[in-house]
Structures are given as structure tokens and as C-alpha cells.
């Protein structure tokens, strides 16, 4: 008797051994059709897996994350099968399921072209229609190595040779194609109904740039055509909010080949948003007890030798330039400069905490291939600050920084936070006691604010522990902007100190922190978060006064000026175009409010507001509208 326990606790008894598929059939015909694989005593297995004794069994369908993963993984095998049929000399390597799809890396003598991808996808569809059974086979490890070697599949042979000798290796066969795989897989290729190859890219064998370069074919796969289509539409939606596209459409910023990669030019409309961000940031910092600093963008290389950047940060720095025969370095960070200010006079224990902030522009050498819009650039402005304090102030300072961080991020429309706490790595500077104290302070602060956090044990920098805060945007993507890091290294290197109560020299604690990270990158995130529809307080143009005929030009100008006097960013569109034309244009520019003025409004001294979605509210006085807009700009 075999007793099968199902996830809901019910037990079914069977007289003789049976397959997982038969268990599914015994539960119901719907499940039998939907089942892709099973889980037996916690182990994922194929539907053909034979149960010879009592077990806990559950079934995997496409509705679950693991079911999707199986479909994607099986589709990657289908891809490999099609490639081997069309290009027999290609060697297969690995092909896992990834978020939203799968990839497979091949070694092939020439690059795959887009036409090749089309041909491969077509062949995949044919193979899927044939509903080829996917069968699992076991082979002895050494036999498997010989088997793949004989087929010229050296990468596979290499993978297997790392599996301990004597272990049985599982292979999956569909048609003439055999691949080394742990499984499980769908029962036959007919289960693969909705997939699409997306791109081909270079990737290194085992992700190591010193190894052979392979060709990675990316694809996406879903349980049915509907899900595939909805994914593809979602991709298009994400593309519509791409900050590079919106940056152009809304005339916010540009990058120039003439200037070089990764260098950002802020246009007037982008600069307006940046100014709002900066003004808000400065106000928040002044209220939180920070002083503002301004420091140079370049300094004698010797300073970077002292700070240690020349050793541990060299590959991210631009090459030095000669000035009066002395090497000078463009700054990749602001911290050494703040330390020079610290060291410009003697400090007492009574001076602390000292909180120094700077919107500091830095330059970092990023490899040409990683540059990406505003997200990865070579010159950017950090919203940097350094807090110098005594050991007994660490905990309260960290908490204050965390609160400032959360308040700031919330103001920009981010509500969900995830925190990473990175602790002491193997190789590090500083005493055990101070690492312990700092790490506890960070942990206490996170817990005091009741934040979800993940502890990355040993993941800290060599100079101190840190917490990173991640935000989630409107479409669910996570971004890490904020970081709070203790630094036990720089104070040592620059020999910074203060005079303690006892008259002796003491080393202060230094905390680096950035809330938005880089203004460029944060701006890019904001553009995508709001899909270009900035809330009123950030919008570069908050309202446009639109005339119906040029009879209202004087009134429109007066309205604009009165609103500007209230501190609002307002333009007047006096062009002799039809209202519909002007409305369309400003709507496409995503201006939050349009104020239509015709003869009636002029006569009555009113404006007729229309929001970005096309809703109208009826005429109201200029002052009433200004009050409403100002209120909208202050709340969030």
C-alpha cells in the first residue's frame, strides 16, 4: 500500500507503484492537464517519476512561480535543440530560466544574426508542435563525460567533470537532442506554447572575462499566448516611461557624442526640476542641523594617495593630468576634501556632532559598455554628507540620518523601503569593539523604524559597516539610492582627531551618507517613476495659460504674472493657434494644469482650469486657482 499525502493534508492510498502524473489524474482531470511536474518529499521531479513508497506529493502547474520556471527552463532546452539542428557545429553550455524568461549560451564559430534568431524561433515552434516527449535518463558520471566528449560538447564535459565521481548524472532527451540537466522538465515539448526570442548578446563562459566569449540568446516564455502578449505589452509600457525617451520628449536633458559618453547636459526644463530637488534637499538638511560646503572638483594626486583611493579605487578614477608638472586628479569622491576642512583647525569634543553636506559633483571612470542614460554616467552630483561625531553619538546620529532619508524619499513618492545591513568582511580595518558598536547602532536604527531588512554578513566595505536603502517605484522595480556608511579608515589615514574631556587626542567617528545617491540617476528614476507626469511641486511648468483668441492676450499675461508672483512656474501661450492645438501640445508635454481663458473669463476676471487628464472644473478666480495649486504643491 502506498499512501500519498497531498498539500491539503488528505491522504490517498494506492495499491501499487504509480507515477506523479497518475496522482494528478487521481485528483482530477483538470489538474492532470495542468500539471507540469511534481514535488515529492520536497524534491522537484518529473511527472513520469515513479512513486514506489508512501510520500508527500504536490503538483506544480504553470500558475506557480516554480511552474513558470520549468516552462522557461524547458524552453531553453527547446532553443538549444533548435540551434543544434540548424547549426550542428554550435556547442551548448548552460541555459537556465531567469526572471521573465530564459537564456542559453552557445559557442559558435560566427555570431548569430537576427535572421538566425528568426529561423531558430521558427524551428522551435515546429519542434513544440511535434510534442516530442522529454525523457529523463540516468548515466554514470564518467560515462557521461565520455558521452559528451564524443559529441564534441566540451563545455558540457567540463561541467560534469566537476560533479563528484560516482554520482549518477541525469540527462534529458527530446528527439535527437540530449542535454545534461537536473530537471524537472515538462513532459513533452507540446507544453511550450508561448515563447519569443528577444536578443543575442555576448557572455563569458562562467561569467569570467578571461574565458571564452559565448553567445547568449535571450528569450521569454509563458504558459499561454495571452500571458506572453501581456508581458510584451508591459515591456512596451516600460519603454514608454524610459527616461531616455522622456528626457528627449520633455526636453529635460541630453548627452552628446561631441562631449563624450556619460556626461549629462541639463536643459532648462530638467534644470528646473533639479533646482526644486536641490532647494528641498537644502531646506531639509538645514533643518536637520547640517552645514553646507563647497569644495573643488580637482586636487593634487598626493591627496588621493593619502586617502588611499589611488590604491583601492584606481580603476574607477580618470587618469591624472599634469598641472605645473604636478599630477592632479579629478575627484571621484568628496570625502577627502571634507576631511581637509576638518583638519583646518583643532576640534573639541564639544564640537560634535558636525554634519557637513555638499552637492558634490564627482567624476568616475566607468567602462564604456556600461554607460546608460542617466543611470550610469561618468560625471554626476552626489547629495553627499559627512557626519563627524564621538563614539557615544553614533547611534543617535545614525537614527537621525535614517529618519532624514525616509522623510526625503517619501516626499518623492516612494513608500516601500527595503534595507540591507552589511557587516564586517574578512579583511578590514578598525577594532572589533568599534565594528561591533557601529553594527549594533545600524541594526538598532533599522529596527527602531520597523523596516524590513536583510543582513549581508561579511558584505561591508573594508573600512566600515553600512546600510543601503532600496526604494520601489510605481512599476515595482527596486532601486538603491541611499547609503549610510561608517568609515574607520579615512580618519586614520588623515590622522584626524579632537581634544577629549581629559585633554588627550581622540579619533572621531566619520559617517558618509547619501540619500538620493546621484542627482542624475535619481532624476532618471523619478522620470520613470512618474512616467514623466511630475507632481505639481516638481513639474518644470506647473500651468500654462492658453488663450482662445488674441483678444485675451492682455488678460492671459496678467494671469501668468499674478501666478508667478505667488511663486508658481507658469507660462502663457499666446500663439494664434486653435485651443485644441495648444491643449494637445501642452498635454503631450505633461503640464499638470492648463488655464483656458476666452472672452468670458477675461470679462469675469477668471481662468478655466483643465487638468492633464482632460478634466475641467469650471471657471474660478485667479487667486482661488493659485491657492489650490499651492496647496497641491505642498501636500504629497
Partner RNA sequence: GCCCAUAUAGCUCAGUCGGCAGAGCACUUCCUUGGUAAGGAAGAGGUCAACGGUUCGAAUCCGUUUAUGGGCUCCA
Site for RNA in 106-165 (CB under 7 A): 111, 113-114, 156, 159-160, 163
Q: How many residues bind RNA (CB under 7 A)?
A: 74
Q: Coil, strand or helix: which one is 391?
A: helix
Q: Which stretch binds RNA (CB under 7 A): 28-36, 38-46, 91-99, 407-415?
A: 91-99
Is 364 known to be catalytic?
yes
Chosen residue from 61, 215, 393, 422 binding RNA by CB under 7 A = 215
Is 386 known to be catalytic?
yes
Alpha-carbon distance of 556 to 596, in angstroms, equals 9
Out of 72, 84, 285, 466, pick the active-site residue. Answer: 466
Rounded least distance, CB 203 to RNA, Å: 4
Q: Which residues, other chains included, contact 213 with Cβ-Cβ below 8 Å and sequence gap of 6+?
A: 202, 203, 204, 205
φ/ψ bin of 618: left (φ > 0), alpha (ψ from -120 to 50), beta (otherwise): left
Is 349 known to be catalytic?
no
* Residue 587 touching RNA (CB under 7 A): yes
* Residue 213 touching RNA (CB under 7 A): yes
Alpha-carbon distance of 295 to 298, in angstroms, equals 9
Rounded least distance, CB 608 to RNA, Å: 4
Q: Which stretch binds RNA (CB under 7 A): 94-102, 441-449, 489-497, 512-520?
A: 94-102
Rounded least distance, CB 606 to RNA, Å: 9
221/594 with CB nearer RNA: 594
188-207: which residues touch RNA (CB under 7 A)?
199-204, 206-207
Q: Which residues, other chains included, contact 507 with Cβ-Cβ below 8 Å and sequence gap of 6+?
A: 491, 492, 496, 497
What backbone torsions phi and psi does residue 410 show, to the nearest 5 degrees? Answer: -65, -40
Out of 81, 215, 329, 382, pick the active-site residue. Answer: 382
551-570: which residues touch RNA (CB under 7 A)?
551
Rounded least distance, CB 472 to RNA, Å: 18
Interior angle at CA 77, CA 76 and CA 82, nearest 5 = 100
Rounded least distance, CB 169 to RNA, Å: 5
* Residue 413 touching RNA (CB under 7 A): no
12/578 with CB nearer RNA: 578
Chosen residue from 232, 406, 499, 579 binding RNA by CB under 7 A = 579
Is 384 known to be catalytic?
yes
Q: Which residues, other chains included, contact 269 with Cβ-Cβ below 8 Å and sequence gap of 6+?
A: 250, 251, 252, 540, 541
219/360 with CB nearer RNA: 219
Query: Other C-beta atoms within 10 Å of 633: how many?
Result: 19
Rounded least distance, CB 163 to RNA, Å: 5
Is 225 known to be catalytic?
no
Alpha-carbon distance of 228 to 584, in angstroms, equals 33
- Letters for 250-289 (x = contact with RNA by CB under 7 A, - = none) are -----x-x--xxx---------------------------
14/365 with CB nearer RNA: 365
Identify which of 64, 62, 52, 66 has the alpha carbon closest to the alpha carbon of residue 23. Answer: 52
* Residue 550 touching RNA (CB under 7 A): yes
* Residue 70 touching RNA (CB under 7 A): no
Rounded least distance, CB 182 to RNA, Å: 3
Alpha-carbon distance of 382 to 516, in angstroms, equals 8
Q: What kind and span of H or E run contains 252?
A: none
Cell 482650469 belongs to residue:
609
DSSP state of 16: S
Alpha-carbon distance of 86 to 96, in angstroms, equals 21
Q: Which residues, other chains included, contact 185 with Cβ-Cβ below 8 Å and sequence gap of 6+?
A: 37, 46, 70, 73, 74, 77, 134, 136, 172
Out of 181, 335, 389, 481, pick the active-site residue. Answer: 335
Strand-pair partners of 104:
217
* Residue 527 touching RNA (CB under 7 A): no
Q: Which stretch binds RNA (CB under 7 A): 352-360, 391-399, 599-607, 625-633?
A: 599-607
The grid cell for 206 is 562562467
Out of 364, 378, 424, 582, pick the active-site residue. Answer: 364
Alpha-carbon distance of 148 to 178, in angstroms, equals 9
Is 282 known to be catalytic?
no
* Residue 503 touching RNA (CB under 7 A): no
Is 81 known to be catalytic?
no
Q: Inter-axis angle of helices 268-287 and 519-529, to 10 degrees?
A: 110
Rounded least distance, CB 355 to RNA, Å: 35
Q: Catalytic site residues? A: 335, 364, 382, 384, 386, 466, 512
Amino acid at each position: 500500500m502506498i499512501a500519498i499525502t497531498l498539500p491539503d493534508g488528505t491522504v490517498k492510498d494506492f495499491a501499487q507503484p504509480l507515477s506523479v502524473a497518475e496522482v494528478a489524474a487521481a485528483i482530477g482531470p483538470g489538474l492532470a492537464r495542468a500539471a507540469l511536474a511534481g514535488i515529492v518529499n520536497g524534491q522537484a521531479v518529473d511527472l513520469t517519476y515513479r512513486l514506489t513508497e508512501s510520500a508527500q506529493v504536490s503538483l506544480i502547474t504553470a500558475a506557480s512561480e516554480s511552474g513558470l520556471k520549468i516552462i522557461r527552463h524547458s524552453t531553453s532546452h527547446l532553443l538549444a535543440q533548435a540551434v543544434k539542428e540548424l547549426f550542428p557545429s554550435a556547442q551548448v553550455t548552460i541555459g537556465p530560466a531567469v526572471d521573465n524568461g530564459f537564456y542559453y549560451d552557445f559557442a559558435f564559430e560566427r555570431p548569430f544574426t537576427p535572421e538566425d534568431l528568426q529561423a531558430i524561433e521558427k524551428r522551435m515552434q515546429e519542434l513544440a508542435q511535434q510534442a516530442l516527449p522529454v525523457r529523463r535518463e540516468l548515466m554514470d558520471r564518467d560515462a557521461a563525460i565520455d558521452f559528451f566528449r564524443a559529441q564534441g560538447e566540451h563545455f558540457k564535459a567540463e561541467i560534469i567533470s566537476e560533479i563528484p565521481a560516482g554520482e549518477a548524472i541525469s540527462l534529458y532527451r527530446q528527439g535527437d537532442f540530449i542535454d545534461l540537466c537536473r530537471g524537472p522538465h515538462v513532459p513533452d515539448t507540446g507544453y511550450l506554447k508561448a515563447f519569443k526570442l528577444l536578443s543575442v548578446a555576448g557572455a563569458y563562459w562562467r561569467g569570467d572575462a578571461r574565458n571564452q566569449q559565448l553567445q547568449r540568446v535571450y528569450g521569454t516564455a509563458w504558459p499561454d499566448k495571452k500571458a506572453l502578449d501581456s508581458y510584451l505589452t508591459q515591456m512596451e509600457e516600460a519603454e514608454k516611461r524610459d527616461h531616455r525617451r522622456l528626457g528627449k520628449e520633455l526636453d529635460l536633458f541630453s548627452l552628446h557624442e561631441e562631449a563624450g559618453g556619460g556626461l549629462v547636459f541639463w536643459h532648462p526644463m530638467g534644470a528646473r526640476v533639479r533646482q526644486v530637488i536641490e532647494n528641498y534637499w537644502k531646506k531639509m538638511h538645514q533643518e536637520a542641523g547640517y552645514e553646507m560646503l563647497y569644495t573643488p572638483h580637482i586636487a593634487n594626486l598626493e591627496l588621493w594617495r593619502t586617502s588611499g583611493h589611488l590604491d583601492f579605487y584606481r580603476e574607477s578614477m580618470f587618469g591624472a593630468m599634469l598641472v605645473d608638472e604636478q599630477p592632479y586628479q579629478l575627484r571621484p569622491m568628496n570625502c577627502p576634501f571634507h576631511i581637509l576642512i576638518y583638519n583646518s583647525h583643532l576640534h573639541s569634543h564639544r564640537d560634535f556632532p558636525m554634519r557637513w553636506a555638499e552637492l558634490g559633483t564627482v567624476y568616475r571612470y566607468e567602462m564604456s559598455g556600461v554607460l546608460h542614460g542617466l543611470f550610469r554616467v561618468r560625471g554626476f552630483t552626489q547629495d553627499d554628507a559627512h557626519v563627524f561625531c564621538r563614539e557615544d553619538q553614533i547611534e543617535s546620529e545614525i537614527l537621525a540620518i535614517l529618519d532624514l532619508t525616509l522623510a526625503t524619499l517619501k516626499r518623492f513618492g516612494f513608500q516601500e523601503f527595503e534595507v540591507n545591513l552589511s557587516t564586517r568582511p574578512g579583511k578590514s580595518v578598525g577594532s572589533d569593539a568599534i565594528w561591533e558598536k557601529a553594527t549594533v547602532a545600524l541594526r538598532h536604527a533599522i529596527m527602531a523604524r520597523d523596516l524590513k531588512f536583510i543582513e549581508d554578513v561579511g558584505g561591508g566595505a573594508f573600512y566600515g559597516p553600512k546600510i543601503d536603502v532600496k526604494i520601489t517605484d510605481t512599476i515595482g522595480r527596486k532601486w538603491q539610492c541611499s547609503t549610510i556608511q561608517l568609515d574607520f579608515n579615512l580618519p586614520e589615514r588623515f590622522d584626524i582627531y579632537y581634544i577629549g574631556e581629559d585633554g588627550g587626542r581622540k579619533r572621531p567617528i566619520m559617517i558618509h551618507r547619501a540619500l538620493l545617491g546621484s542627482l542624475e540617476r535619481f532624476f532618471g528614476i523619478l522620470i520613470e517613476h512618474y512616467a514623466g507626469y511630475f507632481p505639481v511641486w516638481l513639474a518644470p511648468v506647473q500651468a500654462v495659460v492658453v488663450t482662445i483668441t488674441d483678444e485675451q492676450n492682455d488678460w492671459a499675461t496678467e494671469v501668468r504674472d499674478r501666478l508667478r508672483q505667488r511663486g508658481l512656474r507658469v507660462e502663457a501661450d499666446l500663439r494664434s493657434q486653435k485651443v485644441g492645438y495648444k491643449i494637445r501640445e501642452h498635454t503631450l508635454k505633461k503640464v499638470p494644469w492648463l488655464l483656458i481663458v476666452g472672452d468670458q473669463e477675461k470679462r469675469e476676471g477668471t481662468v478655466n482650469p483643465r487638468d492633464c487628464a482632460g478634466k475641467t472644473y469650471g471657471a474660478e478666480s485667479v487667486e482661488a486657482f493659485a491657492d489650490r495649486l499651492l496647496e497641491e504643491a505642498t501636500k504629497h
